Amino acid sequence: MKSEDTPFEGGPLDGRVLPVLLGPTGHPPKTYRVPVPDAAGGPPTVLVYRRAQSGKSKRLGLHMGWKYEFDPEGDKGRGLKWPWSRPEPSPGPRRGVTPDAGADAADE
């Protein structure tokens, strides 16, 4: 497998350059998860880094490489997006549904 030395920015790995395995297309993965073991023996903390473009050339605007930026929220990411999958529901209340309407139906 081919690897590439990739810089990390932000978080505990700030300033480090680590070899990252490249995929079949020659790019590193979009997210890089680093499990950090807990000192008390609990579940490990997972640090999440997102791939970002490290820069562009001045003259032609060509891609210069990749870097990883720390994601403090560490959400699960977008994952695979299939054409037949439904979009994720928004965290807010649904449109056209009032909170009181559900309570009245339960009282009857």
Q: What DSSP line would sit under 42-100, residue for residue? A: -PPEEEEEEEEE--B-TTT--B--EEEEEESS---------TTSPPPPPSSPPTT--HH
Across the chain, which has 108 residues, the per-10-residue mean pLDDT values are 91 92 91 88 90 89 90 72 74 63 53
| pLDDT of 108 | 53
Number of domains the chain is built from: 1
| pLDDT of 7 | 94
Closest-CA residue to 54 (of 66, 71, 44): 66
Of the CA atoms within 13 Å of residue 64, those in its CB half-sphere come to: 11
| pLDDT of 76 | 63
Structural domain of residue 55, as residue ranges? 1-73
pTM (global) more than 0.95:
no
Q: Cβ of 29: how many Cβ atoms within 10 Å?
A: 14
Q: Which residues contact 28 (CB under 8 A, 6 or more apart)?
A: 4, 6, 20, 21, 22, 51, 66, 68
| pLDDT of 78 | 60
